Amino acid sequence: MISMQILQNVVDGLKEITRFDISVIETEGKIVASSESGRVGKVLDGLRVFMVSAAEVQMLEGYSYFKVFDNNVTEYIVAVKGSDGEAHQAGQLAAFQIQCLLVAYKERYDKDNFIKNLLLDNLLLVDIYSRAKKMRIDSSAARVVFFIEVEEILDLELTDKLRQIYESPKDFITSVDESHIIVVKQVDSKQKIDEIDEMAVTLADIMLTELKVKTKISIGTKVLDLKNVSLSYKEAKMAAEVSRIFEPEKQIVNYEKLGVGRLIYQLPISLCKMFMLEILGETSIEHLEDEVLITVDKFFENNLNVSETARQLFIHRNTLVYRLNKLIKRTGLDLTNFDDAVVFKIMLMVSKYVTHRDNY
């Protein structure tokens, strides 16, 4: 089905060209788009006989009605206010325009369906290449997947709006659920990671400024063959999940820049819990004082610099040392020692991962 916004744009444009008021009606009789104020949403029960009849045109109560077919099945009814020859011509023009839109949308649906099945690994290798050839999709172009997460439940028309603003003939934009949009972006095979990151930044800016939607975008690796697009999609999804655990405030996340977080995410949960038990014993992270954890975070932020950390926390150097000594008593780890600091940093990340897994 064509989106209501697209249909409304069509009837508004046709009104400017023909000077006739035009409405589009679903087969149930509900008006879904109209150039006449207050008509959208009304149900016309009087059209039921026309809808099931063999007639393609009907005049009723000052309006001319025209059927719009899709494979010989009535898909819409176009209503034009007027019954003279010019109104008839305007109705034929509107019906033809919507008929063309139906064809275009069907082609879009076929491609959209193909891309969704490609992302979800639902296609055999031979089907990928044969269907891509029929749809004139270059199977050897370099592509990358952007996994876009919106903060609120996805507006059903948001994907269409993004297509109108951002999509090029070589890109594909689809939605996979109520809170994610997928962009399969064709890129240059020599495109660098930072350049792809900039593309994601631009896309996030478009979503915010043009569509008024705040987003988080995760990026898969660049693939050089159509059959590997699903791999980039899976990596982008993993990047989103890893970022949710370790860097929830980050807006642009690249799978190739996840670092230690990606490694920890793929560890067995039993191994993670064993590591935490080795470091903390029977103590858990929750049992450590908040002021100690805040101090540790700031200490890492300042590259283990005691003086700078104390200055930023507005405490005396000796107070900072006292808090770090409390951690030594609890864990046996001296964070002024680089090796111990690395172990504790990893342990904090493992703890976040374990907590995330336990909550899902």
- Which structural domains are found in the chain, ordered by start? 4-102 (3.30.450.40), 125-262 (3.30.70.270), 268-359 (1.10.10.2840)
How many residues belong to the chain? Answer: 360
Q: Are 306 and 316 in contact (CB under 8 A)?
A: no
Question: Residues 207-257: pLDDT tens digits?
Answer: 999 988 899 999 999 999 999 999 999 999 999 999 999 999 999 999 999
pLDDT band, very low/low/confident/very high, at 195 (cuts 50, 70, 90)? very high
- Report pLDDT for 61: 86
Question: Residues 280-326: pLDDT tens digits?
Answer: 877 777 777 788 888 999 999 999 999 999 999 999 999 989 999 98
Task: Please tell me the distance from the alpha carbon of residue 116 to that of residue 172, in angstroms, as a whole number.
Answer: 10
**CA quadruple 187, 191, 193, 199: dihedral, nearest 10:** -50
Task: Please tell me the distance from the alpha carbon of residue 339 to that of residue 333, in angstroms, as a whole number.
Answer: 9
Mean confidence (pLDDT) of the chain: 89
pLDDT band, very low/low/confident/very high, at 65 (cuts 50, 70, 90)? very high
Q: Are 44 and 31 in contact (CB under 8 A)?
A: yes
What are the CA-CA distances from residue 162 to residues 146, 157, 212, 318, 325 (Å)? Answer: 13, 9, 11, 56, 54
Q: Which residue has the higher pLDDT, 130 or 289?
A: 130
> Number of C-alpha atoms within 13 angstroms, CB side, residue 204?
22
Which residues are 223's β-sheet partners?
143
pTM above the 0.75 mark? no
Does the pLDDT at position 1 exceed 70? no
- Report pLDDT for 240: 96
pLDDT band, very low/low/confident/very high, at 268 (cuts 50, 70, 90)? very high
> Number of C-alpha atoms within 13 angstroms, CB side, residue 179?
10
pLDDT band, very low/low/confident/very high, at 156 (cuts 50, 70, 90)? low
Question: Residues 166-178: pLDDT tens digits?
Answer: 878 899 999 878 7
Task: Please tell me the distance from the alpha carbon of residue 137 to that of residue 187, in angstroms, as a whole number.
Answer: 14
- List the one residue out of 174, 102, 110, 163 whose CA is nearest residue 137: 110
Average pLDDT over residues 316-337: 89
Contacts (Cβ under 8 Å, ≥6 apart) of 43: 28, 29, 30, 31
- Report pLDDT for 205: 95
